Amino acid sequence: MENMKYTSLLVLFISFVIVNSGYAINKDSTALSVLNTPEEEIENDRPELFDLMFAEAKTFYVDALIAAHFNDTAEVKYCFDRGFEIMAGITELDTLSILQQDEFNRFYEKITFDFLEKFSYLNGDSGTYGAAFIKQELSESILDTVSLGSDTLLIVDDRPGHLPLIKSKRIDRIIEYFSKREKKRFQVWLNNSGLYKEHMMPILKEYGIPEELFYLALIESGYNPLAYSYAHAAGPWQFISSTGAIYGLKRNWWIDERRDPIKSTRAAAKYLKKLYDEFDDWFLALAAYNCGEARVWRAIRREGTRDYWKLRSLPKQTRNYVPTLMAGITIALDPEKYGFENNPADTWKWDEVIVDRSYEFEDIARFSGVSATVLKQYNPELRRWITPPESGEYTLRVPVGKGDGLSKKLSDIPAADKKPQWTTHTVRRGQTLSYIARKYGTSISALIAANNIRNKNQLRVGQVLKIPTSRYYASPTITTDKNLVTHKVKKGETLSEIAESYGTSISKIRSINNLYGKKFIYPGQKLKISAQKHQSDKYSTTPSGKTKVIHVVKKGETLSEIADAYRVGMSNVRAWNNLYGKKFIYPGQKLVIYKSMGS
């Protein structure tokens, strides 16, 4: 019964996605199923990159829904993160047709809505999407009761060289929202302000940016370098990729400088200065920072005013953007007045170490005495667990006191061990991205990102592609679980089914087998599984209040039906009879059941 419910649910999910999002992969079915075709016979029909990546994004969305059904929170988050990452990659393709853009927008709105409505718990108090969630919620409901026309503005402070501080009904509503409904999250953001204040303030001052705009990063990201929005903006200052590139922020498979608190602050200062020089008004400059210069100029021309507070044709989120910043500044300048603690975190301090080539975090951790996870926190621009292989020298940050002699220690690693062993593939005639991705157990979107492919014509015979492997998706981990078993994947099996049969989670299987970044498992593949500890030993004697019975399986019976008949859990039946990893029971099989007395 449970397997039937699972199958029905899966079909429902996939059907829902197909109906609502236009699942566009039929036109490219040859490319997507190419592993079943001999290499010499592959048709090189150059499928659209959009179709391939879009299909992957949808697959991750469906996987997230399935994982949610099994309460596998880590897997839900992984699938959404990968889905949003692929969607961001789609926006960087050279060209999208009107039809593709429309299809993309509809699906993007769908998963954003689902994430906000059903999975906002994944954000935590300082999560990746937390600031984006708040901005969305503010623009959609919190401020609807305050109309711009009825709001009275009061200038509280307007000193030269500073951002004018405003008080209004709308701003008061946002202050109330932060100090009551989102108090816990906002307190985390206020605490985070201490991490980078000493680093960011001098940069803002260098470019003549009012010191109050340090709190723009409070509203944009809660000072979380890994913050990401549904508009594909990233980092403390929430740059989209194209704007970040204009101001010197690189983004590729290995790094995303939008996430670096120092580099992104310098880029933000340059951009804000440019906007102020263009509009000669900080409120208009901030509006442009949110929605773009062109939209602000259109609103000014349409309404015949340069007063930000009167521009009603601006997007709703932009109309709320400056009031939200005003509320954030007001609280940050006197947190205790609004019920918050004034307890900023200690400033992050670090040593900078020049490394002369690419090193995996495992090696750096071994010689520095700092865990790979801490190294990632100090170097948030690094997208993989490795320093970039193509940058020559790289400046790595490590905690203060951990950098002494590190360069020398790393350079002394034997040459044979220095270079990370990633895979390369030379493209042969007739091969497609789908074929190459599936051959190496990676994803099309990962291939596209790792090799900076922007259009379908970039793939050519003789081209050498870097093949990203799972080691760059997840932190180096050592499995100490002594209850590991080996499972050989059967044809048609999915990670969800395997996880369910062993009483474990998809995310745990991914972690133990380093499957991050790999979409596919394949028949014959051997997976290490951390099965729930077999509980049969616990029941060598009949538990108190229970009666031991032997049930002989009848033809057509399922585990769920047997469990229901005895009013026990199906997982208990598996445990009592060591059924982990076995999908089927058979007629005549004897099962031990411990049922409650009197039932």
How far apart are alpha carbons 154 and 331 in whole angstroms? 17
465 phi and psi, to 5 degrees? -100, 140
- At 249, which amino acid appears? L
Identify whether the C-beta of residue 187 lies closer than 8 Å to the C-beta of residue 341: yes
- Beta-carbon contacts of 172 under 8 Å, excluding residues fewer than 6 positions away, are none
The count of other CB atoms within 10 Å of the CB of residue 74 is 15
How far apart are alpha carbons 582 and 160 in whole angstroms? 74
**Of the listed 220, 257, 381, 500, which one is catalytic?**
220
How far apart are alpha carbons 3 and 40 in whole angstroms? 40
Identify whether the C-beta of residue 122 lies closer than 8 Å to the C-beta of residue 80: yes
The string of DSSP letters for 45-75 reads ----HHHHHHHHHHHHHHHHHHHHHTT-HHH
How far apart are alpha carbons 414 and 520 in whole angstroms? 35
How far apart are alpha carbons 162 and 333 in whole angstroms? 14
Helix (H, G, I), strand (E, B) or coil at 224: coil
How far apart are alpha carbons 41 and 430 in whole angstroms? 8
How far apart are alpha carbons 340 and 91 in whole angstroms? 39
557 phi and psi, to 5 degrees? -70, 150
The count of other CB atoms within 10 Å of the CB of residue 274 is 16
Distances in Å between the Cα of 415 and the Cα atoms of 128, 359, 388, 395, 436 are 38, 12, 17, 21, 30
- Beta-carbon contacts of 121 under 8 Å, excluding residues fewer than 6 positions away, are none
What H or E segment, with its residue span, contains residue 353?
Answer: strand 350-355
- At 437, which amino acid appears? A
Task: From 550, 542, 537, select the one nearest 588 (Cα to Cα).
Answer: 550
Looking at residue 179, the DSSP 8-state letter turns out to be: I
How far apart are alpha carbons 409 and 364 in whole angstroms? 9
Helix (H, G, I), strand (E, B) or coil at 395: strand
How far apart are alpha carbons 273 and 216 in whole angstroms? 14
CA-only gyration radius of the chain, Å = 28
487 phi and psi, to 5 degrees? -115, 130
- For the chain, the maximum distance between any two Cα atoms, rounded to a whole number of angstroms, is 88
The count of other CB atoms within 10 Å of the CB of residue 238 is 27
Residue 500 among the catalytic residues: no
How far apart are alpha carbons 464 and 190 in whole angstroms? 48
The string of DSSP letters for 237-255 reads TTB-HHHHHHTT--BSSSB
Q: Which residues are catalytic?
A: 220
